[in-house]
């Protein structure tokens, strides 16, 4: 069907244009190194386009098609000469300013976003192409949605980083806006998840485009239990069932979350005491939960809880999300809970991502078991009852390549405080959830650009003193007012750099049982117990090597001989790690530039810059960063 169009050309999207469209401009990459506008120069007035090509004055459009002078449109229809467009509206004397239609424009890491005046988002279309090359491709309709009563939004994801794109927005009334020469930046793929790995972690290639044949699933609150996907020749319904059966797919799986997707939680029951006994766990019906315990019972299921009248799911905020695990374990005369978790096993090449600025997982979380090549990005996790996002393997390994769960990339997420309204644990320690990002028996993991806010138990590496994990990177994370476990680690070699630890209230970093951390260019700002270790209790002791870090107010306890501040990066520090006691200077096991003697990463800020820059970069997509068309980019080493 032909659509008559009133074309409003935006020849190039520059930094100034992005600000003009209503987006605040924040630095990205190293300070004092803000990327110039696309094209690099002022808008020319000499007849050239911002991309450097000559502005045609010979009757040709910028796209190369000849402008007809025979009274016909390029499509062959007669051009009206009565001052009206083919649609019947009067032709304006001046071109409609782009800012009158496009109200927001943003280029971020491997994506772009636009908002425009629109009353019928379903009737609009958005297309994209590599600048000046080939035909336009249509954006999936699910990515175009109503922002407000008179505004639509489109988020275009899966763009190739380092490339320049053209975009075309066709409003429901036929008006067309063309936006050309938008430079797309790349995600920072530094760290262990991508070390010596070129296949792309998750459902995306390393250039930011989707892997061939990837299955894309869109999920909203309204469709969380009805969305379908065909995996391995069978159709599965609901987001939980789709993820639980992702292992049946031979193709990569990309789950895209739009808006908040929540789950009903148990009604609140308080016990008002610490170290409660099993018989003190009383249901809403006044009956003790011990009545559900039978000889040899290991788990009390959701069905048993509800049918026995011990508690019920509260659906006043979110309806039940089908397929989650809800159970209570009973062992040694004590209860332990495991609520609202999406359990995923043996999956490979999976990405779960949030679309835009408001995508979130509320009152539930993920446990990934024996999964490889998994990416979780741009999601807000809030009020999770157990873990926000946990990964675990099935067995320990003595070598870094011996783990069943590896190549994990958790980045650009916002992880808030959890909430468990029915904590049945004797210690009563799950009221705020059990963990933000917990890792057990995993290898080749990167956690980067995440914002942890008021998490009580923030992150775990290793579930026991003999449990091993290997090759884990934490970088550019912002830990704000968190309680403890940043992380608590055992039997792992870890690299922490450019993290901002702000106002930790318990024990910030706790290294135990063979854990060895190389901590580089981080900022500890009034972080209580910034770096602590435990001595050998039979499985080795914890150790830390600290280089070029900044401590504000509270200092590490250097009486602990296992916490060492070094002046030379290559200085050897004694440790009990089982994988490589000098991993941080071993190019075979670590991204180390032996010639330069530095960590081979894309961006390395100084510790002084971390306090300012990391809060601007960490967390989910938002309007006040990544709008200067640079995003995160290579900036040399410092």
Beta partners for residue 210, in sequence order = 204
pLDDT in tens, 560-600: 789 999 999 999 999 999 999 999 999 999 999 999 999 99
Is it the case that residue 18 has pLDDT exceeding 70? Answer: no
Scanning 165-265, the segments in alpha helix (DSSP H) are 239-244
Per the listing, tokens 């995440």 go with: 450
Write down the residue that tokens 């990002």 correspond to.
437
Residue 256 in tokens:
């895209």
Residue 296 banded pLDDT, cuts 50, 70, 90: confident
Question: Percentage of the chain with pLDDT > 90?
Answer: 77
* Local structure of 194: helix, strand or coil: helix
Pairing status of strand 451-453 against strand 414-415: parallel
- Backbone φ, ψ for residue 290 (5° rounding): -60, -20
Per-residue tokens: 450: 């995440």
Task: Report the pLDDT value the prediction gives residue 567, as an integer from 0 to 100.
Answer: 97
Q: Tell whether the model's pLDDT for residue 303 goes beyond 70.
A: yes
Q: Which residue has the higher pLDDT, 332 or 206?
A: 206
Residue 624: per-residue pLDDT: 63
CATH topology of domain 192-604: Pectate Lyase C-like (2.160.20)
Q: Give the largest Cα separation in the chain, rounded.
A: 91
What number is the average pLDDT over the span 72-85? 40
Predicted pLDDT at 294: 84
Q: State which H helix or E strand residue 153 sits in.
A: strand 151-157
Residue 628's closest CA among 21, 131, 96, 37? 37
Listed by start position, the domains of the chain span 6-183, 192-604
Question: Which residue in the block uniquely carries the two structure tokens 């640079």?
Answer: 630
In the predicted model, what is the mean pLDDT of residues 371-381? 98
Higher pLDDT, 5 or 359: 359
Question: pLDDT tens across 89-100, in order?
Answer: 444 434 555 556
Higher-confidence position of 150 and 56:
150
Residues 5 and 173: beta-carbon distance below 8 Å: no
State which H helix or E strand residue 609 sits in. helix 607-617
pTM of the model: 0.85
Beta pairing class for 516-520 and 6-10: unpaired
- The gap between the terminal CA atoms of the chain, to the nearest Å, is 56
The residue written with tokens 């930094």 in the block is: 15
Across residues 77-84, what is the average pLDDT? 41
CA angle 426, 370, 473 (to 5 degrees): 85
Q: Report whether 584 contacts 597 (CB < 8 A).
A: no
Instruction: Report whether 536 contacts 516 (CB < 8 A).
Output: no
Which whole number is the average pLDDT over 451-461?
97
Helix (H, G, I), strand (E, B) or coil at 331: strand
Ranking 59-63, 92-96, 411-415, 502-506 by mean pLDDT, the lowest is 59-63
**What's the rounded Cα separation, in Å, for the pair 257 and 14?**
29
Residue range 266-274: average pLDDT?
92
Q: What pLDDT was estimated at residue 558?
A: 87
Residue 109 carries which DSSP code? B
Element (H, E) at 18: helix 15-20
pLDDT of residue 90: 40
| Cα–Cα distance for residue pair 625/622, rounded to 1 Å | 6
Q: How far apart are CA 435 and CA 196, in angstroms?
A: 29
Average pLDDT on 473-496 reads 98
At residue 194, does pLDDT exceed 50? yes
Looking at residue 179, what is its pLDDT? 87
Q: What is the mean pLDDT of the chain?
A: 85
Q: Is the model more confident about 9 or about 82?
A: 82
353, 257 Cβ separation under 8 angstroms: yes
546 forms bridges with which residues in the sheet? 519, 565
Q: What is the pLDDT of residue 95?
A: 53
CA separation for the pair 430, 267 (Å, rounded) = 15
In the predicted model, is pLDDT for residue 65 greater than 50?
no
Closest CA to 629 of 26, 20, 10, 6: 26
Say if residue 328's pLDDT is above 80. Answer: yes
Q: Prior bond to 14 cis, omega within 30?
A: no
**Read out DSSP for 284-310?**
TTS-BGGGG--TT--EEEHHHHHHTTS
SS3 per residue for 44-68: CCCCECCCCCECCCCCECCCCCECC
Q: What is the CB neighbour count within 10 angstroms for residue 532?
A: 20
The third-level CATH classification (topology) of the domain covering 6-183 is Immunoglobulin-like (2.60.40)
pLDDT at 5 over 90: no
Write out the two tokens for 245.
């059966």
pLDDT given for residue 99 in this prediction: 58
Give the whole-number percent of the chain exceeding pLDDT 70: 82
**Full DSSP string of 387-429:** EEEEEE-SS--SSTT--SSEEEEEES-EE-----S---STT--
Report helix, strand and coil shares of the chain as percent, to nearest 5. Answer: 10, 35, 55
User: How many residues does this entry show for the chain?
Assistant: 638
**Mean pLDDT for the stretch of residues 337-342:** 98
CA distances from 196 to 180, 199, 200, 332, 637 (A): 36, 10, 11, 45, 20
Residue 613 near residue 27, CB atoms below 8 Å: yes
The residue-averaged pLDDT of 51-64 equals: 38
* Token digits of residue 407: 């190549």
Choice among 164-173, 204-213, 222-231, 340-349 with the minimum mean pLDDT? 164-173
């Amino acid at each position: 069907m032909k659509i008559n169009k009133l074309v409003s050309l935006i020849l190039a999207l520059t930094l100034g244009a992005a600000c003009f469209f209503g987006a605040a401009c924040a630095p990205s990459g190293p300070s004092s190194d803000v990327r110039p506008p696309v094209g690099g120069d002022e808008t020319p007035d000499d007849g050239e386009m911002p991309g450097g090509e000559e502005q045609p004055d010979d009757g040709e459009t910028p796209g190369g098609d000849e402008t007809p002078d025979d009274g016909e449109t390029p499509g062959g229809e007669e051009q009206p000469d009565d001052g009206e467009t083919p649609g019947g509206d009067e032709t304006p004397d001046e071109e409609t300013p782009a800012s009158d239609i496009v109200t927001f424009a943003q280029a971020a890491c491997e994506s772009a976003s636009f908002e425009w005046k629109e009353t019928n988002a379903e009737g609009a279309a958005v297309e994209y192409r590599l600048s000046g090359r080939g035909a336009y491709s249509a954006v999936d309709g699910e990515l175009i949605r109503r922002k407000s009563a008179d505004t639509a939004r489109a988020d275009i994801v899966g763009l190739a980083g380092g490339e320049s794109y053209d975009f075309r927005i066709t409003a429901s009334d036929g008006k067309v806006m063309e936006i050309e020469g938008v430079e797309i930046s790349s995600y920072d793929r530094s760290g262990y998840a991508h070390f010596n790995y070129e296949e792309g972690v998750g459902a995306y290639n390393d250039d930011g485009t989707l892997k061939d044949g990837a299955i894309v699933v869109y999920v909203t609150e309204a469709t969380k239990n009805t969305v379908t996907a065909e995996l391995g020749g069978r159709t599965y319904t609901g987001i939980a069932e789709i993820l639980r059966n992702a292992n049946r797919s031979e193709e990569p799986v990309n789950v895209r979350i739009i808006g908040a997707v929540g789950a009903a939680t148990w009604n609140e029951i308080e016990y008002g005491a610490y170290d409660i006994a099993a018989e003190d766990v009383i249901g809403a019906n006044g009956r003790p939960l011990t009545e559900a315990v039978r000889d040899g019972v290991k788990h009390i299921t959701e069905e048993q809880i509800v049918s026995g009248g011990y508690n019920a799911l509260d659906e006043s905020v979110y309806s039940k999300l089908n397929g989650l695990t809800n159970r209570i374990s009973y062992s040694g005369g004590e209860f332990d809970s495991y609520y609202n978790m999406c359990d995923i096993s043996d999956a490979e090449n999976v990405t779960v991502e949030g679309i835009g600025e408001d995508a979130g997982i509320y009152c539930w979380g993920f446990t990934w078991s024996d999964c490889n090549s998994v990416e979780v990005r741009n999601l807000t996790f809030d009020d999770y009852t157990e873990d926000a996002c946990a990964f675990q393997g099935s067995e320990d390994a003595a070598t870094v390549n011996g783990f069943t769960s590896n190549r994990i990339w958790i980045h650009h997420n916002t992880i808030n405080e959890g909430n468990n309204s029915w904590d049945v644990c004797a210690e009563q320690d799950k009221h705020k959830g059990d963990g933000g990002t917990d890792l057990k028996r995993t290898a080749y993991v990167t956690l980067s650009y995440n914002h942890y806010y008021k998490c009580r138990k923030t992150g775990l590496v290793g579930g026991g003193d003999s449990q091993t994990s290997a090759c884990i990177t934490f970088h550019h994370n912002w830990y704000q007012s968190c309680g403890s476990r940043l992380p608590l680690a055992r039997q792992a070699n870890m690299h922490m750099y450019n993290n901002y630890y702000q106002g930790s209230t318990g024990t910030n970093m706790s290294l135990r049982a063979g854990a060895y951390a190389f901590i580089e260019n981080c900022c500890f700002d009034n972080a209580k117990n910034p770096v602590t270790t435990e001595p050998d209790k039979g499985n080795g002791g914890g150790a830390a090597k600290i280089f070029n870090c900044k401590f504000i107010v509270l200092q590490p306890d250097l009486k602990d001989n296992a916490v060492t501040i070094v002046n030379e990066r290559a200085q050897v520090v004694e440790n009990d790690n089982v994988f490589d006691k000098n991993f941080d200077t071993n190019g075979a096991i670590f991204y180390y530039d032996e010639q330069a003697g530095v960590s081979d990463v894309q961006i390395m800020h100084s510790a002084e810059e971390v306090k300012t820059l990391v809060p601007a970069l960490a967390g989910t997509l938002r309007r006040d960063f990544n709008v200067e068309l640079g995003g995160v980019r290579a900036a040399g080493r410092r």
